[in-house]
Amino acid sequence: MAVATDVRSWIANRIRQDEITRYMDGDRCFIDDGAIEGALERGRNPDAGRVREILAKSLAIETLTLDEASCLLHVEDPDLQEEMKAAAGEVKRRVYDNRIVTFAPLYMANLCVNNCVYCGFRHENSAERRRVLTMEEIAEETRILAGTIGHKRLIVVYGEHPASDYDYIADSIRTIYGVKVPTKRGYGAIRRVNVNAAPMEIAHLKVLHDVGIGTFQVFQETYHRSTYERLHPAGTIKGDYLWRLYSMHRALEAGVDDVGIGALFGLHDWRYEVLGLLRHAWELEEKFGIGPHTISFPRIEPAANTPYADSPEAVVDDDSFARLVTVLRLAVPYTGMILTARERGDLRHKILPLGCTQVDASSRIGIGAYADVEEKQEGERQQFILGDTRSLDEVVRQLAEDGYITSFCTAGYRCGRTGRKIMDLLRSGREGHFCKLNAVLTFREWLDDFAGEATRAAGEKIIVRELDEISRRFPEVYPSLLDAYEKVAQGARDIYF
Amino acid sequence: MPGTSISEKARETFSLLAENLLRDRGVGMELTAVVGRRWSAVAGPQGDLPLASAERLPLADGWGLVLYGVSRLKKTEREALLKKVEGILSVGPA
């Protein structure tokens, strides 16, 4: 597929070298291959006593060093692995309690100028049916997500192309926030739009900041530079490793103080990628005092007409996937961890207790797919194939049956609990207390507006239990909570602490 | 925080005011930069905020105050507090 001249010109002006080098230490970037390889080597055959010391540090909600994380990555003893999993679950409970946040992906456009070998959107993939949603189509997708399914939080996804540049992204976010749909007892609306898009220059990030984005996500895909350069062809924008690597620096400089990092597991050794993510978290903490708001750890999945994705070179099996999730939870205890519907439902059920905080549900990743009557997946308009297509109602019900409360809370970024502040509050456990109150209020909203009968029954039990716990643990705020709760039950919406 | 800027001295003065308010009256006060829907923390007390309703007060020039447990203050105390905050912010950017 040829690239038109005007698109070529757009590509040529995309990368701003000064917005890379300003963050670097001379010609050195923060991913030091030798340092990561050295840590991986030193971590082999860890002593059980040392491992338990490291677990104690995680339980004190402290970020681990590369050497400490490497020790955990090399634990092979099954009993010690079980101790690690238990500690990861405990870290999650201390910081986030029993809450799980839900969201949905909304894919806006699948035009892309890049040619990543594992991706269904790559521009040479002639099997992909290309489309950019109009604002009316975006509004229609949002009406279904917010008014029929009941989502409050989206991750909006765009290919890298002038047709879906920052101005289109800004317009699309305004459109989403403008949709308000009557529901059984109140109204449905999207309250937080997180963005997964290509790296941008600071001026463009400021435009997104101004329209009120939640988290800005860019995944490095692989931190291993030579692998990166092999899988992302030279001459494409994405072929520039450093432009991508410093995306979060630019976002933080633009004032977007909730940023999300991630790696696509399956491209290179999973242990290396875990240390790459950890190094990235440290770099942001050291330079900006703010670590990542979320970490994502998707595994590569099959995509239409994409042979690489059918047999990736560094396959991560389910057991290794559980181990990497466990170590990420232990290594960066204060950060949200996103387990997506790429994974099968049964596996998500097993992985969630290892410390994940967010899951998507009712997910459709075809362009315009929420408005379709047809429910089956179509590889030709998707980036990859989903493993879990259960509805939000089904997922919420299972979470409730497992003792979790689904939180639709989006209060933090609207009342100053962002960036360094929220990190401090997460570390101390205080943010968890705010979230506990807000989870009850937003879960009440969702149960009244959207839940099926069985889910509502399971949810009511959780609500009773949560209210009882709050009355005992936080008696000083309980009357205020009950007051807000009654208002929500009467149809008031978006009340928060 | 780029965009809405504040001098280091003003930030320290605000934080001290917020520390005292939290210690003496149990009210949490965070200075935030308001851009669209996002209220980003700029200055405030060290440590935890009181677990109470968050009340948002937009101020001039893109600033906002988020107060936790502000019902513990009388109307006159609240007005005096706002005047102090506006005085701190009027010093100007860094």
Interface residues of A toward B, Cβ cutoff 8 Å, are 177, 206, 209-213, 253-255, 257, 411, 413-422, 424-425, 428, 430, 433-434, 437, 474, 476-477, 480, 484, 496-497
Directed axis angle between helix A66-73 and helix A270-288, to 10°? 160
The C-alpha atoms of residue A148 and residue A125 are separated, in whole angstroms, by 34
pLDDT at residue A360 greater than cutoff 80: yes
Q: What percent of chain A has pLDDT over 90?
A: 91
Q: pLDDT value at position A101? A: 97
Contact B51 A496 (CB under 8 A): no
Q: What was the pLDDT predicted at B92?
A: 61
H or E segment to which residue A401 belongs = helix A392-401
What pLDDT is stored for residue B28 in this prediction? 96
Q: Which of A263, A161, A250 is nearest to A208 (CA)?
A: A250
pLDDT at A427: 86
Question: DSSP assignment, residue B52?
Answer: S
Inter-chain residue contact A418 with B39, CB threshold 8 Å: yes
Answer yes or no: are the C-beta atoms of A208 and A190 closer than 8 Å.
no
- Nearest CA-CA distance, residue B61 and chain A, Å: 14
Q: Are B65 and B29 in contact (CB under 8 A)?
A: yes
End-to-end CA distance of chain B: 11
Q: Which of A186-200, A408-422, A473-487 has the lowest mean pLDDT?
A: A408-422
| Portion of chain A with pLDDT greater than 70, in percent | 99
Residue found by looking up tokens 């570390």 in the block: A427
- Kindly tell me the sign of the dihedral angle through the C-alpha atoms of A284, A286, A291, A296: positive
Output the CA angle A238-A241-A244, nearest 5 degrees. Answer: 70
Exposure of A455 by Cβ count < 10 A (0-12 exposed, 13-18 middle, 19+ buried)?
Answer: buried
pLDDT one-digit tens code per residue, A115-150? 999 999 999 999 888 999 999 999 999 999 999 999
Partners of A181 in the beta sheet?
A188
| CA pair distance A344, A239, nearest whole angstrom | 31
Please tell me which residue of chain B has the smallest CA distance to A425.
B48
CATH architecture for the domain at A5-25+98-328+337-389: Alpha-Beta Barrel (3.20)
Tens digits of residue pLDDT in A440-467: 999 999 999 999 999 999 999 999 999 9
- Report whether A44 contacts A319 (CB < 8 A): no
Tens digits of per-residue pLDDT, B39-87?
989 999 988 899 998 999 999 999 999 999 999 999 999 999 999 999 9
Q: What is the mean pLDDT of residues A183-192?
A: 95
Q: Distance between CA A246 and CA A249 in Å, rounded?
A: 5
Give ipTM to 2 decimals: 0.86
The answer, yes or no, to whether residue A248 has pLDDT greater than 80, is yes
Q: What is the pLDDT of residue A300?
A: 95
Instruction: List Cβ neighbours of A418 (8 Å cut-off, separation of 6 or more).
Output: A257, A258, A412, B38, B39, B40, B41
Q: Which two tokens stand for residue A108?
A: 């806006």
Q: What three-state secondary structure class fits A220?
A: coil
Look at strands A294-296 and A336-339 and give their pairing.
Answer: parallel
In this prediction, residues A58-72 reach a mean pLDDT of 97
Give the predicted TM-score (pTM) of the model: 0.93
Of B1, B2, B56, nearest to A415 by CB-CB distance is B56
- Subunit contact A424:B47, Cβ cutoff 8 A: yes
Instruction: Compute the average pLDDT of residues A304-327.
Output: 95
Whether residue B5 has pLDDT greater than 80: no
Please classify residue B90 by burial: count the beta carbons closer than 10 Å to its beta carbon, then call 0-12 exposed, 13-18 middle and 19+ buried.
exposed
Rounded Cα distance, A168 and A207, in Å: 11
In the 3-class helix/strand/coil scheme, how is A268-282 assigned residue by residue?
A: CCHHHHHHHHHHHHH
Q: CA–CA separation, A480 vs B67, rounded Å?
A: 15
Arithmetic mean of pLDDT, A221-239:
96
Helix-strand-coil percent breakdown of chain A, rounded to 5? 50, 10, 40
CATH 3.20.20.70 domain extents, chain A: 5-25+98-328+337-389
3-state SS class at A215? strand
Contact B66 A416 (CB under 8 A): yes
Q: What is the pLDDT of residue A257?
A: 86
B70/B75 Cα distance (integer angstroms): 10
Helix (H, G, I), strand (E, B) or coil at A167: helix
Number of C-beta neighbours around residue A167 at 10 A: 12
B68, HSE (Cβ side, Cα atoms, 13 Å): 23
| Tokens describing residue A209 | 């900041």
Confidence of residue A280 (pLDDT cuts 50, 70, 90): very high
Contact B37 A421 (CB under 8 A): no
pLDDT band per the 50, 70, 90 thresholds, residue A392: very high
Distance CA A271, CA A74 (A): 9
A421 residue type, one letter: K
Q: Can you tell me whether residue B94 is helix, strand or coil?
A: coil
Contact between A425 and B48 using a beta-carbon 8 Å cutoff: yes
In B, what residues contact A, Cβ < 8 A? Answer: 1-3, 30, 32-33, 35-41, 44, 47-49, 51-54, 56, 64, 66
pLDDT for position B4? 65
Q: Is A94 helix (H, G, I), strand (E, B) or coil?
A: helix
Question: In the predicted model, what is the mean pLDDT of chain A?
Answer: 95
- Give strand pairing partners of A132: A109
Q: Is the dihedral of CA A443, A60, B16, B76 positive or negative?
A: positive
| Secondary structure class of A115 (helix, strand, coil) | coil
Give the single-character DSSP code of A147.
Answer: I
- Residue A116 near residue A232 (C-beta atoms within 8 A): yes
Q: Which of A416, A477, A496 is opposite residue B30, by nearest beta carbon?
A: A416
Contacts of residue B58 in chain A, CB cutoff 8 Å? none
Please tell me the distance from the alpha carbon of residue A457 to that of residue A463, in angstroms, as a whole number.
10
| Helix, strand and coil percent figures for chain B, each rounded to 5 | 40, 25, 30
What six digits make up the tokens of A409? Answer: 């809370």
Whole-number Å distance between alpha carbons of A217 and A160: 14
Helix (H) / strand (E) containing B41: strand B38-43
